[in-house]
Amino acid sequence: MQSDRPRHRAAGAAGGAGGNSGSVGRTTLVWLAVIGAISAVAGPVLLSPYAIKSVGEGSVGVLRFGGKVLDEIKAPGYHFVLPFLYELIEVPVNVRTTEVRQVPCGTSGGVLVYFPLVEIIHRLHPASVVSTLKAYEDYEQAWIIDRVRHDVKLLCARHSLHEVHIDKFDQLDDMLETASAWVPGLMIVAARVAKPTIPSQLHGDFVRVEEEISKLKVAHQHEQLVVRNAEMERSRQVMAAENDRDIARMTMDRQVEETEADLRIHRIQDEMHLTRSKDHADAASYSKLREAEGNERRLSPAFLEQARQKALYQNLEAYYGNRMPEYVKVNSNSNRLDGGEGGSVGSEAARGAAAFWGRGGHG
């Protein structure tokens, strides 16, 4: 009996181990069955076209989970999205044109007209996509279409029909662009406004106004042409007068320069003549000075005596006859003729005459 107890406990232990391994195997099989079932159900869903989304070029993708816009931005391309849990919203960020048709315009005069088409060219910055979608579900409707109608209404209320249709129509584009602040991140590139349609009963009046304006423009252009031609003629005359004045100034300057040159030439000639005259005078003075010095050295007493004797005999008159003329007075005592100066000459002449007559001279 005692020997059978251990054998029985050993058999019981072996049976317990076999029971545990069997339970583990059953659990594993259960999990494998669950995973297989999930894979069988989710596999076609995950591999279906609903799980693969694409974002086109010029747009970005934004995920929405349970109605909430997530902060993640998807770039252009293919993206995997869990169907029925996430929604991928494609938002354009390139330049787009939004058309707003039949925009009413009530002018300050009470006339209602319609702009058939208003085009807004805009672009949403990629960094502002999430904040714009969170704040406005449809920003294009809220900030472009509705805003255009509101701004056109305000602009028309401050202007008359004539201003809206004619005078300030070319300014409506710029006025519409700067009318109010747009949503942050939304850039307005340009705005184009079509010509408003006016009531038929006012169309004829506007046609006549347009004709009058055209005539006025033609007259104004003709007036400007006449004024421009007059200004051109005046400018031409002014230029001709200035040209004549410049020519006269140049001629006068040339004459002044020629006169100054002549004056300088005459001055130089006068200076040369004066210099030559001074040189001649100096030369003549020097010549006479040298002549005087020569005469002073040459007129010695012997030379003077010789000259005196020569002059005496050159002026001697000879008379031939028996008697001496009465006018010849000989004063032998005083040795002079008639008491004049040069007694020695007279004495010599008297002595010569007496000697001549004494020798029987005659005239």
Higher per-residue confidence, 49 vs 70: 70
pLDDT at site 12 = 44
Where is pLDDT greater, at 176 or 355?
Answer: 176
Domain of 124: which CATH number?
3.30.479.30
The verdict on 173 and 216 lying in the same domain is: no
Which string of DSSP letters, residue by residue, matches 101-148? EEEEEE-TTS-EEEEEEEEEEEEE-GGGHHHHHHH-SSHHIIIIIHHH
Spatial strand order in the sheet of 112-124: 96-106, 112-124, 186-193
Q: Please indicate, yes or no, if residue 18 is contained in any of the structural domains.
A: yes
Q: Identify which has the larger pLDDT, 37 or 344.
A: 37
Phi, psi (rounded to 5 degrees) for 60: -130, 160
Task: Mark whether 294 and 352 lie in a shared domain.
Answer: no
Neighbour count for residue 94 (Cβ, 10 Å): 10
Query: Does the reported pTM lie above 0.75?
Result: no
pLDDT at 13 over 60: no
State the pLDDT at residue 181. 58
Compute the distance between CA of residue 91 and CA of residue 66 in angstroms, rounded to an integer: 19
Q: Mean pLDDT, to the nearest integer, of 50-76?
A: 83
Is the same domain home to 118 and 182?
yes
Say whether both 107 and 182 belong to one domain. yes
pLDDT tens digits, residue range 121-169? 888 888 888 888 888 888 888 888 888 898 888 888 888 888 887 778 8
Please tell me the predicted confidence (pLDDT) of residue 310: 82
Lookup: tokens for 294: 């020569």
Q: What's the whole-number mean pLDDT along residues 331-353?
A: 45
- Average pLDDT for 227-239: 91
Alpha-carbon distances of 273 from 260, 264, 287, rounded to whole Å: 19, 14, 20
Same domain, 214 and 291: yes
* Helical spans, DSSP H, in the chain: 4-46, 129-135, 139-140, 146-157, 161-162, 172-177, 200-298, 301-314, 343-358
The predicted pLDDT at position 11 comes to 42
Q: How confident is the model at residue 230 (pLDDT cuts 50, 70, 90)?
A: very high
Burial label for 159, CB within 10 Å (0-12, 13-18, 19+), is: buried
Same domain, 120 and 150: yes
pLDDT of residue 327: 53
Query: Is 204 inside a domain boundary?
Result: no
Least-confidence region, from 1-10, 177-186, 233-242, 250-259: 1-10
Model pLDDT, residue 335: 42
Rounded to 5 degrees, φ, ψ at 119 are: -110, 130
Q: Is residue 252 part of a domain?
A: yes
- For residue 17, give the DSSP letter: H
Domain count, the chain: 5
**Is residue 337 in some structural domain?**
yes
- Residue 191 and residue 109 share a domain: yes
Q: In the Cβ-directed half-sphere of 174, how many Cα atoms lie within 13 Å?
A: 4
In a domain, 324, yes or no: yes
Interatomic CA distance for residues 345 and 314, integer angstroms: 13
Amino acid in the structure at residue 211: E
pLDDT in tens, 274-328: 888 888 888 888 888 887 777 777 777 777 787 778 887 777 666 665 665 565 5
- Asked whether residue 203 is domain-assigned, the answer is no
Residue 24 has pLDDT above 70, yes or no: no
Q: Are residues 77 and 102 in the same domain?
A: no
- pLDDT for residue 278: 85
> Which of 298, 313, 330 lies at the terminal end of a domain, its last residue?
298
Backbone angles phi, psi at 20, to 5 degrees: -65, -45
Domain boundary among 165, 198, 231: 198
Residue 85's pLDDT is 80
Please check whether residues 278 and 311 belong to one and the same domain.
no
Are both 311 and 334 inside the same structural domain?
yes
- Within-domain flag for 73: yes
| pLDDT given for residue 9 in this prediction | 44
Q: Looking at the structure, do residues 85 and 116 belong to the same domain, yes or no?
A: no
Instruction: Return all residues near 306 (Cβ < 8 A) that are at least 6 apart.
Output: none
Domain range enclosing 13: 1-47
Same domain (yes/no): 159, 214: no
pLDDT of residue 49: 60
